[in-house]
A and B are shown apart, each in its own frame.
Chain A
Amino acid sequence: MSHYNFAFLDEQTKRMIRRAILKAVAIPGYQVPFGSREMPLSYGWGTGGVQVTASVIGPDDVLKVIDQGADDTTNAVSIRRFFERTTRVRTTTRTDTATLIQTRHRIPETPLAEGQIVVFQVPIPEPLRWLEPRETETRKMHALEEYGVMHVRLYEDITRHGHVETAYDYPVLVNGRYIMRPSPIPKFDNPKLDRSPALLLFGAGREKRIYAVPPFTAVRSLDFEDHPFAIERWDQTCALCGAADVFMDEIVVDDKGGRMFVCSDTDFCERRRGR
């Protein structure tokens, strides 16, 4: 990898992406178009997150990469190795010592701290896409705060099922202005977005959008006053460390339908078990 630049991207590209990130931070929740580059990883597999991380990472950073909450899932391994090869930056599995965390589909259970940056991998950035396939139209709707349709969707869900049907990638209102998709994190993780001390960056490579939630910004999951937003609950606790009130993976243990539940966040679980 010696003839590639630090973190693979050339400096011009990093500058372009940083400008997009700054604009995103200045307008919380607003999707900033950016000139997404082709990366050695497939579109849809985290190129947006990788480009954001590559643009902000420095030699003194400590990087953690997770997918589904675990450091050892295949794509997390692949992305971590990519950064190891292109930056030689120190990597870790510990949430508490990481300065930069790239994640797919989870926010760590360990509370984040000021000074940390979390980079989310986003497949579809546009919350209004379910209603309107046209980009020209959705941009206008955001500009004019034409968000009535989002609540129409929630209304319909409650009418049909008694509950909102969305379990992950649950839409939120950021800083009282823009409606945003938090990426396919389970709604269980949505409360962690609200007034988080960390800087939250969102990268969609294929769709070519970057957005951000600056530290201590209000993030509110959409709901109705009489049908307030609620997160998932399990009756079980983690079979390995005993934690309750965490997001759990369901493991099928035999062919008779036997199941057990363990923490999805592997670092959190290990820390509790004193490893």
Chain B
Amino acid sequence: MYVAVKGGERAIANAHRLLAEERRGDRSVAELSLAQIDQQLGLAVDRVMIEGSLYDRELAALAIKQARGDLIEAIFLARAYRTTLHRFGASRPIDTDGMAIRRRVSATFKDIPGGQILGATFDYTHRLLDFGLAGADADGAKAPSNPAEPGAAAGAESGGDLAALGGRLPRVIEILDRDGLIEPEEPDSDRRAVGDLTREPVEFPAARDVRLQSLARADEGFTLALGYATQRGYGRNHPFAGEIRVGEVEVEIVPEELGFPISIGEITVTECQMVNQFKGSATAPPQFTRGYGLVFGHAERKAMTMALVDRALRCRELGETPASPAQDEEFVLYHGDNVEASGFVQHLKLPHHVDFQSELVLIRTLRSEAEARAR
């Protein structure tokens, strides 16, 4: 005698318990601390902050721990938490001109005022697995053969006296800007308020502020693939890395009661300015065009691909015919959000047996009609 299946509630509770056990893993192995994740898996923490749109290293580390290292799941946790936070205002725009530089490079000129500062980067490492890191005691066992010289921590490659520049590194782009070689980047004069795609749904055609927001929090794999595609000819825009900066900036707000700005803290950001294909017209001489990327933490790949796709999406305003997916605004803005994408893809695991039953009824009808005709 068939009894209708029950116990869904109990099954879910048991599934949660099993998940908690698997998350912890073998109890004879030391439990991960949030500090360990933050310090030693710092780039994972950065990614969760960027795509979670939430600057909080500790929360991001917690999310990574709870998500067992599945970064998209961790990003989901960060976003869901973000929803509950009270929004009491917007900061002033951060001043990346005055960034406390940790790393700063440019591919457009050999030498620039302030120098090419390599900072801590994987770029020139040889990708050889370092088995010295395998032990739990890698610090003690292996002292660096060439300890970093004091003062050379930044790995400056060439000259340029930082002190002489007043501690502020001038913009490489400014070199081009001064001669009118690159399109000026100015806020629109008829400016309405900056959009916020976490508050209002995107309307198309989308303005650049919303496009940049969407790209900043988009899945890194997605922007990487699209940026790569533009380089390979799917909407080529001849990019040069004008300047990439990594470092700390102040975050300032202007509380109503005070009426003047106060600093509420410091965040690390990565900024990329691309110099792209020049454009001219019958009336205006040619100028280089721009692409822009800005993300939390140290994430050059993301900032660079963001700048490539930003430039590709500006095709409309620059009079270029969109021909590739990277230039298709609706395609890019709709499919970059990995929390949305992951949810919808995985929703296929939900019961669909009612719709499937409808399909079965229909297909059986069609087949029996076909059979009847064949006879």
Give me the interface of A with B, judged by CB distance under 8 Å.
4, 8, 10, 33-40, 42-45, 47, 67-69, 72-78, 81, 104-106, 123, 133-136, 161-163, 165, 167-169, 184-188, 206, 208-209, 232-234, 239-240, 247-251, 253, 260, 262, 264, 266, 269
Nearest CB in chain B: distance from A105 CB, A: 5
**Cβ contacts under 8 Å, B199 to chain A:** 35
Residue B82 at the A interface, CB < 8 A? Answer: yes
Do B360 and A135 touch across chains, with their CB atoms under 8 A apart? no
Known: A68-B353, A249-B357. 5 other contacts (CB 8 A): A42-B339, A42-B343, A45-B343, A68-B352, A232-B362
A35-B201, A44-B347, A136-B330 are known contacts. Are A69 and B354 too (CB-CB below 8 A)?
Answer: yes
| Most chain A CB neighbours (cut-off 10 Å) among B79, B199, B340, B342 | B340
A106 in contact with B84 given A35-B199, A251-B2 (CB within 8 Å): no
Q: Which of B5, B201, B350, B358 contacts A186, CB < 8 Å?
A: B358
Q: Known A78-B12, A168-B358; judge A44-B366 contact (CB<8 A).
A: no
Assembly CA distance A186 to B342 (angstroms): 25
The reply to whether B366 and A188 contact each other, CB–CB distance below 8 Å, is no
Whole-angstrom distance between the alpha carbons of A40 and B347 in the complex?
14
Task: Please tell me if the beta carbons of B354 and A133 are within 8 angstroms of each other in the complex.
Answer: no
The CB with the most chain A CB atoms within 10 A, among B12, B342, B358, is that of B358
Contact A123 B2 (CB under 8 A): no
Most chain A CB atoms below 10 A, which of B5, B339, B354: B354
- 12 residue pairs of the A-B complex, CB under 8 angstroms, read A38-B79, A39-B83, A42-B339, A42-B347, A72-B7, A168-B358, A168-B359, A184-B355, A233-B361, A247-B357, A253-B2, A262-B2
B1-30: which residues lie under 8 A (CB-CB) from chain A?
Answer: 2, 4-9, 11-12
Q: Given B12, B82, B200, which contacts A77 in the complex, CB threshold below 8 Å? A: B12
B346 shortest CB reach to chain A, Å: 6
| B76 contacts chain A at the CB level, 8 A cutoff | yes
Q: Chain B: residues with CB nearer than 8 A to chain A?
A: 2, 4-9, 11-12, 76, 79-80, 82-84, 86, 198-201, 203-205, 330, 339-340, 342-347, 350-355, 357-362, 365-366, 369
Rounded to whole Å, the gap between the CB of B355 and the closest CB of chain A is 4
Binding site of A, secondary structure by majority: helix, strand, loop or mixed? Answer: loop
Is there an interface contact between B346 and A105, defined as CB atoms closer than 8 Å? no
Q: A234: which of B76, B200, B361, B369 is its contact (CB, 8 Å)?
A: B361
Contacts of B344 in A (CB 8 A): 43-44, 123, 206
Is A240 in contact with B360, judged by CB distance below 8 angstroms? Answer: no
Check A74 against B83 for contact (C-beta < 8 Å): no
* CA A78 to CA B11, docked complex, whole Å: 11
B-chain residues with CB within 8 Å of residue A68 when the two chains form the complex: 351-354
Q: A232 touches which one: B86, B198, B346, B358 (CB < 8 A)?
A: B358
* CB <8 Å contact, B2 and A260: yes
Partner of A206, one of B84, B198, B340, B369: B340
On chain B, the residues within 8 Å of A262 by CB distance are: 2, 4
Q: Which of A39, A74, A163, A165 has the most B CB atoms < 10 Å from its CB?
A: A74
Are A75 and B350 closer than 8 Å at their CB atoms? yes
Task: State which of A10, A38, A136 has its C-beta within 8 Å of the C-beta of B204.
Answer: A136
**B9 in contact with A77 (CB, 8 Å):** yes
- Minimum CB–CB distance from A34 to chain B (whole Å) comes to 6
Q: How far is the CA of A240 from the CA of B5 in the complex (A)?
A: 13
Please give, as numbers and ranges, the residues of chain A lying within 8 Å of B198 by CB-CB distance: 35, 37-38
Q: Given A68-B351, A239-B2, does the pair A73, B361 have CB atoms closer than 8 Å?
A: no
CB-defined contacts of B203 to chain A, threshold 8 Å: 33
Tell me, rounded to whole Å, the shortest Cβ–Cβ distance linking B148 to chain A: 42
Q: Are B339 and A43 in contact (CB under 8 A)?
A: yes
- What residues on A are CB-neighbors of B340 within 8 Å? 43-44, 206
B84 near A105: Cβ-Cβ < 8 Å: no
Give which listed residue, B4, B358, B360, contacts A266 with CB less than 8 A. Answer: B4
B361 CB contacts on chain A under 8 angstroms: 167, 232-234
Is B9 within 8 A of A72, CB to CB? yes
A162 and B369 within 8 A (CB)? yes
A209 proximity list for chain B (CB < 8 A): 201
Given the complex, which residues of B lie within 8 Å of A37, measured CB to CB?
83, 198
Point out the residues of chain B lying under 8 angstroms from A187, CB to CB: 358
Is there an interface contact between B80 and A35, defined as CB atoms closer than 8 Å?
A: no
Across the interface, B8 reaches (CB within 8 A) one of A74, A248, A250, namely A74
Q: Are A75 and B346 in contact (CB under 8 A)?
A: no
Query: Which 4 residue pairs are nearest across A and B when measured between Cβ atoms?
Result: A43-B343, A44-B347, A42-B343, A167-B358
Distance (whole angstroms) from the CB of A22 to the closest CB of chain B: 17
Q: Evaluate contact between B365 and A163: CB separation under 8 angstroms.
A: yes
Q: Which residues of B contact A34 (CB under 8 A)?
A: 201
Q: A33-B203, A167-B359 are in contact. Are A75 and B351 (CB under 8 A)?
A: yes
* Nearest-CB residue, chain A, relative to B7: A72
**B355 x A240 contact (CB < 8 A):** no
Q: How far is the CA of A8 from the CA of B360 in the complex (A)?
A: 39
Task: Determine how close the nearest CB of chain A comes to the CB of B331; give it in whole angstroms.
Answer: 8
